[in-house]
Amino acid sequence: GLIILSLLSSCKEIDKKQEKEKETIVKSERWSEKMANDWAANKPWLRGANFNPSTAINQLEFWQAESFDPETIDKELGWAEDIGLNCMRVYLHHLAWEVDKDGFKERINQYLSIADKHNISTIFVIFDDCWNPTYKAGKQPEPKPGVHNSGWVRDPGDLLYTSDDLMPILESYTKDILTTFNGDKRIILWDLYNEPGNSGYKNKSLPLLKNVFEWAREVNPSQPITS
């Protein structure tokens, strides 16, 4: 009798392990065509643009506590609503999270509340290979008249190639943001990496691109992921 019970218990443990492994595999897979179609079935036609408030030269000035500007965000998203836009693509930055994790997430939530008030859904961008390669927290540079995107910064930019320990920070950042806002219906999807390989990086960006998709699939957000 003890031998049979032991075998049954062992079989149950094996079954549980196999179920857990199966669940992990499912979570790491891309969405099926049916899942994508089901997700899209009840969505409106998306009409939108990239959004950064006019008082912020870049993502850091947008999201840092000292320069976050909900009044301007509210006013300008109101203009967007007035002309029929219903979706905005908004860039985040890991440095704003790194220096103030809780405050950063609170400001994201505040932005989402403002956007939702104007019937605007959000696409958040996690990483970006465009424009200035270096950056720092605090006061951001003044705009250069006549120069397009004079103060925009990449994320993570050149720091990825000069720091030995940045990748774990980027993983924690990605997973924290996707976990915190998993299931948030105000977010329509996650754009994990804007223009990977731009600015001459080419295939140097490929490891981070592969990693960010792996990290996102470990979180398994309710919203679709893209790049």
Could you report the per-residue pLDDT of 129-152, keeping only the tens digit for each?
A: 999 999 999 999 999 999 999 999
Residues in contact with 153: Cβ distance below 8 Å, sequence separation at least 6, in sequence order: 58, 59, 60, 93, 131, 132, 133, 134, 135
pLDDT tens for 166-214 read 999 999 999 999 999 999 999 999 999 999 999 999 999 999 999 999 9
Q: Would you say residue 25 has pLDDT above 90?
A: no
Mean pLDDT check: name the lowest of 16-30, 52-66, 193-207: 16-30
Residue 121's alpha-carbon distances to 80, 97, 154, 177, 184, in angstroms, are 12, 22, 24, 17, 10
| Peptide bond connecting 224 to the previous residue in cis, omega within 30 degrees of 0 | no
CB atoms within 10 A of CB 61: 23
Q: Would you say residue 31 has pLDDT above 50?
A: yes
pLDDT band at 30 (very low <50, low <70, confident <90, very high): confident
- Mean pLDDT, the chain, integer: 91
Rounded CA gap, 93 and 32, in Å?
A: 30
CB atoms within 10 A of CB 68: 21
Question: What pLDDT score does 22 carry?
Answer: 45
pLDDT tens for 32-44 read 999 999 999 989 9
> CB–CB of 122/90 below 8 Å?
yes
What global pTM score does this model have?
0.87
For the chain, percent of residues with pLDDT exceeding 70 = 88
> CB–CB of 100/124 below 8 Å?
no
